[in-house]
């Protein structure tokens, strides 16, 4: 099943803005960039055909894979100056690098890679900077067995904010952590049918246009998930992931042998 990854945005909250600054999907967590971790997640479940929607920083993403160093994340033997890999990461992956524009919306990026999906009835899509240990096969099976045009994973709102209920007169009633409220936010990890393209106009958005229209028609599934899910919208979030990686705390790395 093909995997479309949106990796062409500016990611201004992640970058310093300096010329040549790496795009968000190329920010490192451990020895590899975020996009690699997302792709390894899908490859772990057997989905190794990727379509990358490129834009800002496209050359850096291309160069990473064109100059890929297997020795950075795999054991190997150096014998007589020759490297013998004991394992490898991406040798059986197929990656299509498609420039979808620097300013394009997520929905427009998806529209521009439609031809690369070869008409597959069901395909996967995601942002290139969100890590999770969610059970992908279950997500796929739920859509495949349902009369729906797509599904998206929904998660509790991230953050440590609390909602305060204020009554007449200014008295505080209930104080509730946002994560404990019956609220869900878009967590990415989309499973989509070709039907989604019927509802995304030129320049449109995947969520606001495509998914909203499916929802109006009663054809959008939600996959609620309260397990591990981490976005990387800011430098601090990426740094915390990097520190967790260094500590050996990598719940998203399902491909690694169990300790």
Predicted confidence (pLDDT) at residue 208 exceeds the cutoff of 80: yes
Q: Over the range 92-114, which residues count as b (16 or more CB within 10 Å of their CB) and which as e?
A: ebebeebbbeeebbbbbbbbbbb
Confidence of residue 18 (pLDDT cuts 50, 70, 90): very low
Q: List the structure tokens of 156.
A: 């509790």
Span 102-125, average pLDDT? 95
Q: What value does the mean pLDDT take over residues 14-20?
A: 48
* Residue 62 within a domain: yes
Q: In 55-149, at which residue ranges do the beta strands (DSSP E only) sit?
A: 76-79, 82-85, 94-99, 122-127, 131-132
What residues contact residue 116 under an 8 Å CB cut-off, 6+ apart? 2, 51, 96, 98
Query: Which tens digits make up the pLDDT trace of 134-185?
Result: 999 999 999 999 999 999 999 998 877 888 989 888 889 889 888 777 789 9
Comparing 104-108, 114-118, 176-180, the range with the smallest average pLDDT is 176-180
The answer to whether residue 80 is domain-embedded is: no
pLDDT exceeds 90 at position 119: no
H or E element that contains 230:
strand 229-230
Rounded distance between C-alpha atoms, residue 165 and residue 154, angstroms: 25
Structural domain includes residue 25: yes
The mean pLDDT value for 37-48 works out to: 97
Give the pLDDT of residue 88: 84
Structural domain tally of the chain? 1
Structural domain includes residue 256: no
In a domain, 111, yes or no: yes
- In angstroms, rounded to a whole number, what is the distance separating the alpha carbons of residues 107 and 122? 17
Query: How much is the pLDDT for 19?
Result: 46
Kindly state the helix (H) or strand (E) to which residue 40 belongs, with its residue range.
Answer: helix 34-44
Those residues whose C-beta lies under 8 Å from the C-beta of residue 131, and which sit 6 or more positions away, are: 29, 34, 37, 38, 41, 228, 229, 230, 232, 241, 252
Establish if 169 belongs to a structural domain: no
Q: What Cα–Cα distance (Å) separates residue 29 from each residue in 15, 38, 226?
A: 15, 11, 23
Q: Are 4 and 53 spatial neighbours (Cβ–Cβ below 8 Å)?
A: yes
pLDDT of residue 200: 97
CATH number at residue 71: 3.90.550.10
**89 vs 225, residue with greater confidence:** 225
Host domain of residue 147: 2-75+85-155+184-246
The answer to whether position 166 is within a domain reads: no
- Average pLDDT, whole number, for the chain? 91
Percent of the chain with pLDDT over 70: 96
253 within some domain:
no
pLDDT 10s digits, 45-65:
999 999 999 999 999 999 999
Q: Which residue has the higher pLDDT, 182 or 206?
A: 206
Residue 129 structure tokens: 């900077």
Distance between start and end Cα atoms, the chain: 30
The pLDDT score that the predictor gives to residue 246 is: 94
CA distance 3 to 35: 12
Mean pLDDT along residues 230-234: 89
């Amino acid at each position: 099943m093909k995997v479309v990854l949106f990796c062409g945005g500016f990611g201004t909250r992640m970058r310093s803005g300096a010329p040549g600054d790496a795009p968000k999907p190329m920010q490192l967590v451990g020895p590899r960039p975020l996009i690699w971790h997302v792709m390894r997640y899908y490859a772990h479940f057997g989905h190794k055909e990727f379509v990358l929607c490129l834009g800002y920083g496209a050359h850096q993403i291309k160069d990473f894979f064109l100059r890929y160093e297997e020795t950075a994340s795999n054991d190997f033997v150096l014998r007589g100056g020759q490297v013998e890999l004991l394992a490898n990461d991406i040798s059986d992956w197929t990656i299509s690098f498609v420039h979808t524009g620097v300013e394009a919306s997520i929905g427009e990026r998806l529209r521009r890679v439609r031809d690369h999906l070869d008409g597959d009835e069901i395909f996967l899509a995601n942002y290139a900077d969100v890590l999770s240990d969610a059970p992908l096969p279950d997500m796929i099976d739920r859509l495949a067995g349902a009369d729906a045009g797509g599904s998206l994973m929904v998660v509790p709102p991230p953050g440590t904010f609390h909602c305060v209920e204020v009554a007449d007169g200014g008295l505080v009633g209930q104080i509730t952590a946002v994560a404990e409220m019956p609220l869900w936010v878009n967590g990415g990890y989309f499973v989509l049918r070709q039907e989604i393209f019927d509802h995304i106009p030129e320049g449109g958005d995947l969520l606001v246009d495509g998914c909203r229209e499916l929802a109006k028609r009663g054809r959008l599934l939600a996959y609620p998930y309260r397990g591990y899910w981490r976005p990387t919208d800011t430098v601090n979030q990426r740094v915390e992931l990097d520190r967790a990686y260094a500590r050996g705390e990598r719940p998203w790395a399902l491909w690694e042998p169990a300790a």
